[in-house]
Amino acid sequence: MTKNSDRVTMITRGAGTAAMYVALVLAFQPISYGPVQLRAAEALTLLPCLWIEAIPGLFVGCLIANIFGGFGFIDIFLGSAATLAAAYLTYIAPNRTLAAAAPVVVNGIVVGGYISFLAGAPPLLTMLYIASGEAVACFALGVPLVALLERAGPLLNQGQKS
């Protein structure tokens, strides 16, 4: 593959990640926002295990999805920043368990913290709710998704993280 086609593949994969994230959040909108949430789109936060371009894709996807959430600029910017940090930590994680744990911990603390403030909910309980939903998305959906993509063949894994 040429360098130009590698770039096109990476841009396409990053944009596809963003689009899938937004689509999943909006498709499951009733459970995607609020102090108790289960964002199926967070399964995609494991994609940086495979592709570095998933990091900006997740950031952009979360930023767009949070525009529709009702918590305003704090959610749009802090939520997206938390996703960016978690995606990077997932990328550098030495194994799948730590990779899946990164979004659980980061979003549990950051998103749970500001949503508890904005919603007037108990902070510790909100952090636990957010982390629990994140754990389901990452461990029950994200880890199997990454395993499936790894087995999908060389077409999907071109440019794979080594």
Distance of alpha carbon 107 from alpha carbon 57, whole angstroms: 17
* Residue 160, pLDDT above cutoff 60: no
Residue with the bigger pLDDT between 141 and 157: it is 141
Other beta carbons less than 10 A from residue 161's beta carbon? 12
pLDDT at 154: 60
Contacts of 35 (CB under 8 A, 6+ apart): 115, 116, 119, 121, 126, 129, 130
> Residue 118, Cβ neighbours under 10 Å: how many?
16
**DSSP track, 137-150:** IIIIIIHHHHHHHH
- Identify whether the C-beta of residue 126 lies closer than 8 Å to the C-beta of residue 28: no
pLDDT on residue 103: 98
Percent of the chain at pLDDT exceeding 90: 86
Q: What is the mean pLDDT of the chain?
A: 93
Determine the pLDDT at residue 130: 97
Per-residue pLDDT averaged across 28-45, rounded? 94
Q: What is the pLDDT of residue 155?
A: 58
Q: What is the rounded average pLDDT of the residues 26-31?
A: 95
All structural domains of the chain, each given as residue ranges with its CATH number in brackets, are 3-157 (1.10.1760)
Tell me the per-residue pLDDT of 79-125, one tens digit each, with 9 for 90 and over: 999 999 999 999 999 999 999 999 999 999 999 999 999 999 999 99
* pLDDT at residue 58 greater than cutoff 90: yes
Report the pLDDT value the prediction gives residue 91, as an integer from 0 to 100: 98
